Amino acid sequence: MRDKCPRESHAAWAPSSHRPDPLALLDQANKGRNPELVPLRMGRMVHTPFTFYRGAALNMADDLANTPVTGMRVQACGDCHLMNFGAFATPERRMIFDVNDMDETLPAPWEWDVKRLAASFVVASRNNRFSESAARDAALACVRSYRERMAEYSRMSVLEVWYSCIEIEEALTFVGDQSTRKRLQKRIAAARRRSVLEHDFPKLAAMAGEVPTIRDNPPLIYHPNDERGQSMLDRAREAFGSYRDSVQEDRRTLIDRYEIKDVAIKVVGVGSVGTFCAVALLMAGKSDPLFLQVKEARASVLEAYAGKSLHANHGQRVVNGYRLIQSASDIFLGWTRGRLGRDFFVRQLRDMKISALVDTLLPSGMNDYATLCGWTLARAHARSGDPAQISGYLGKNDTFDKAIAGFAAAYADQNERDHDELRKAVLSAQIDVLVEPD
């Protein structure tokens, strides 16, 4: 494999002569989205090179398709950047750290995830105004951790790899700064105390007479006009049956205890803005609410480069990715298809979820987080790939680490050039944006 694809070759990045216009790819990614929300998506992407990077998964997928690969494939995250990792609760109510966004998941070369993750640390470090050496150190920490942990997984049995997980207490040991660790411990304790009834329901819902409804908070959460809103609720109730059939059989008894009361549009993230994303309020009694997130599942950005999904429903593709990649997944994970032919996947809206406050990290904290994410990605890839083969290719020295760090810096430069193209198009009024207040 090293003869076919030398580890040093991964360092190279130069746009090919036939590289598509980055704005044309953004326009392609916007097709099929709600046209009223596309300016909001563009407004979020133009904000900084980091927000651009988060929304430009298709752009990087096209670029990665022209980089060296060994030929080994895994169940890839597909949009593997540092904001798509975090802590959440398992069905047994433990808290773990894992990949938490799989909208673009697909079997693909393992290198693509590693490169996108490492480059995200350079982009985020520059966004935090770190030095170039500090940004490189973060990328190196990420890839070094991936390589060293993959070597550990290569020596485990298949079951040991499958059962492995990163408990939140173990994740905290990566935080070197004591004050930061204490702040995280407080956030974790607060997340564990949080309940749907006492925290989420008062914030997200209101009573319309005897009927609970989701509070409007436009443009982030809102109901379409009355006629369309009722239609959306009717369609949700229609699709609920096929969603129920997609979850594990023992959990259907749990789902049957709930009834859908309301559905509202919920605008989330950067990459998902404009696709159909909604929050559903379900009740099992007057004081027993549940919020589910319903997200449209479109074809993965990797599909044109890694091959089509084996699943006819893209919601099933995403759910299968969650179950393959995560060490434990939400009990409400399922998929469905709407009356209008769109595919969806469903999960809990919140369940002790905690994300890193990346823009507050100092260089040492960024390195700690990069080390944790590198380990997490290695664990994810080891479940569906061959850890012995990947580890054998990576080797024991830092040749691959340095190559990917070089690629990450070069691609961060490319990302800044592409972001500047978007910024110029916005300034010249070629692209409409909706800029949100800080």
Determine contact, residues 13/119, Cβ cutoff 8 Å.
Answer: no
pLDDT confidence of residue 227: 65
Q: 3-class DSSP state for residue 4?
A: coil
Rounded alpha-carbon distances, angstroms, from residue 339 to 15, 252, 312 = 42, 22, 16
> Read out DSSP for 198-251?
IIIHHHHEEEETTEEEEPPBTTTEE---HHHHHHHHHHHHHHHHHHHHHS-HHH
Read off the tokens for 392: 């054998």
How many whole angstroms separate alpha carbon 35 and alpha carbon 251?
A: 37
Return d(Cα 64, Cα 62) in angstroms, integer.
Answer: 6
- Asked whether the beta carbons of 121 and 347 are under 8 A apart, the reply is no
| N residues, the chain | 438
pTM: 0.95
Residue 414 corresponds to which tokens in the numbers above?
């490319």
Q: What is the pLDDT of residue 438?
A: 63
Torsion over CA of 236, 237, 238 and 244, rounded to 10 degrees?
A: 100
Domain extents in the chain: 7-193+354-427, 209-348
Query: Cis before residue 212, ω within 30 degrees of 0?
Result: no
Q: What are phi and psi of 104, to 5 degrees?
A: -105, 10
pLDDT value of position 228: 61
Rounded to whole angstroms, the Cα distance separating 370 from 137 reads 9
Sign of CA dihedral 259, 261, 264, 268: negative
Per-residue confidence (pLDDT) for residue 207, from 0 to 100 = 84
Task: Return the pLDDT at 226.
Answer: 64
Show Cβ contacts of residue 408 under 8 Å, excluding neighbours closer than 6 positions: 115, 118, 119, 121, 122, 136, 139
Report DSSP state, residue 302.
T
**Mean pLDDT per segment of 10 residues, for the chain of length 438 residues?**
97 94 97 94 96 97 97 97 96 94 97 98 98 98 98 98 96 88 92 88 87 90 75 89 94 95 91 92 94 96 97 97 96 94 93 91 96 98 98 98 98 98 97 84
Burial, 239: exposed, middle or buried (Cβ in 10 Å; 0-12, 13-18, 19+)?
Answer: buried
